[in-house]
Amino acid sequence: MRPTALAPAPPFRSGRLRGALLTVLVALAAVLGAGLVRAAPAAAHDVTSNAYVEVTGSAARPEATLDLEYDLLMKSAWLYAEAYDAKGRAEQLRQLKLNADAVSEYVTGHFAVSRDDTACTARAEGDADIRTRGRRPYAVITLAYTCPAGSDGPVTISSALFPGVENFVHTTKTIVHYDIDGQRGSQILTPTDPSVTAAAADGQETHQIWEFFLMGTEHLLFGLDHILFLLSLLVGARGLRDIVLTASTFTAAHSVTFLLAACGVVDVPAAVVEPLIAASIAVVAVAGFLLRDREDNARWRLPTVFVFGLVHGLGFAGSLGIDESWSGELLLSLLSFNVGIEAVQLGIIAVAFPLLLMLRRSPVHRWVLPALTVPIVVVSLYWLWDRVAVSA
């Protein structure tokens, strides 16, 4: 049977209706305002940063590859604006080479590999490189370590990269993946939990699950583009059955590309993914509002949501920053991160959809829905312009 539009119900009491309307509009205004403030990629680092580290090799001679935000690294190394404001890959590589000693001193002073409580000696391997994560350039630094002769204990990895006391970020998470003498795992290091021991398996899986789950919740909760996409789906939904089908379709789609991209099977540049995510918000918001009451609503809605869900999955994978071969540890990290995303998604639906349903059953729905849709479209089109301009 085709879903039918919800029949109008008797008007709610004015106080209850005003409260629901005010709640929705205030929440949306906060989200849209934050979206406009944080849209520009050159904005100050006022929240958090992620550092990505892969440690491989033997316990005697491990090797670490670190991906660190370029401008943040150059600022933390106390270099001049000429270095941290450098634009373009060629100039950034030149600045990294020119300031190699200062960069190496900072990194080796804030990231350590040790064995038997004794620090291993680090040396830079080759020249630093540049790669793009999301819309930001990251410096890629490779360090080779020599651990003390006679040490036979496990390797411990510690990070104090970009601490809050430097005043450039509020919190930094270091996402570590290691494969040392057959000991494999993933861990998120934080200021309160800055170390992981490669051989200490007891309790690590639980900690790993929890940290990647939290990272997934934070990514969706503070990923304003994904939140606006979800709100666009809710505005266009005709009933509970519709939102369940739509949310399930979006989840299935983004889970597929998230897993494939995180495992390296699919690789789409962020310069393509980020503008498409912004465009998807505008398309779904406009189509949901204009076509919501049409009988063939489901015919276009689910396929469109599935296609755009594939694009959002690529965005989720880019934020996680995993770049390693398939393993059980990798699967555990990915599933934990994805479950965190779904938990927040369900929470948003549980809070927002009843309020929207209440408004839709009231006489004011004819102007409330456009009032919700127009600002979403405006912000998403601004993001589209901004991201295309940055990529050009």
Quick: pLDDT tens for 103-139. 999 999 999 999 988 999 999 999 999 998 877 899 9
Q: For residue 58, what pLDDT is reported?
A: 93
**Per-residue confidence (pLDDT) for residue 37, from 0 to 100:** 43
**What pLDDT is recorded for position 326?**
57
Which distant-in-sequence residues (6+ apart) come within 8 Å of 165 by Cβ? none
Give yes or no for a contact between 211 and 192, defined as CB atoms under 8 angstroms apart: no
pLDDT value, residue 332: 79
Where is average pLDDT lowest: 97-101, 305-309, 322-326? 322-326
Tell how far CA 265 is from the center of its chain.
19
Three-state SS letters, 115-160: ECCEECEEEECCCCEEEEECCEEEEEEEEEEECCCCCCCCEEEEEC
| In the chain, % of residues over pLDDT 90 | 29
Buried b / exposed e over 96-120, threshold 16 CB at 10 Å, is: beebeebbbebbbebbbbbbeeeeb
Whole-number mean pLDDT of the chain? 80
* E strand segments, 13-128: 48-57, 62-69, 111-115, 118-119, 121-124
What's the confidence (pLDDT) of residue 321?
63
The one-letter amino acid at 5: A
Compute the average pLDDT of residues 36-53: 58
Q: What b/e readout covers 56-79, taking b as 16+ CB neighbours within 10 angstroms?
A: ebebbebbbbbbbbbbbbbbbbeb
Mean pLDDT across 297-324:
78
> Would the pLDDT of 146 be above 60?
yes
The proportion of the chain whose per-residue pLDDT surpasses 70, expressed as a percent, equals 80
Residue 179 half-sphere exposure toward CB, CA atoms < 13 A: 11
pLDDT in the model for residue 297: 60
- Residue range 131-148: mean pLDDT, rounded: 90
| Least confident residue range of 23-37, 294-308, 365-379 | 23-37
pLDDT tens, residue by residue, 171-219: 899 999 888 988 888 888 988 889 999 865 555 677 778 888 888 888 8
> Could you tell me if 332 and 208 are in contact, meaning their C-beta atoms sit under 8 angstroms apart?
yes
Burial of 8 (0-12, 13-18, 19+ CB in 10 A): exposed
Cα(210)–Cα(267) distance, rounded to whole angstroms? 27
Average pLDDT score over residue span 326-351? 82
pTM of the model: 0.70
Q: How many CB atoms lie within 10 A of CB 171?
A: 14
Contact in structure between 189 and 173 (CB atoms under 8 Å): yes
Quick one: average pLDDT of 223-232?
Answer: 86
pLDDT at 202: 54
The DSSP bridge partners found for residue 189 are: 174
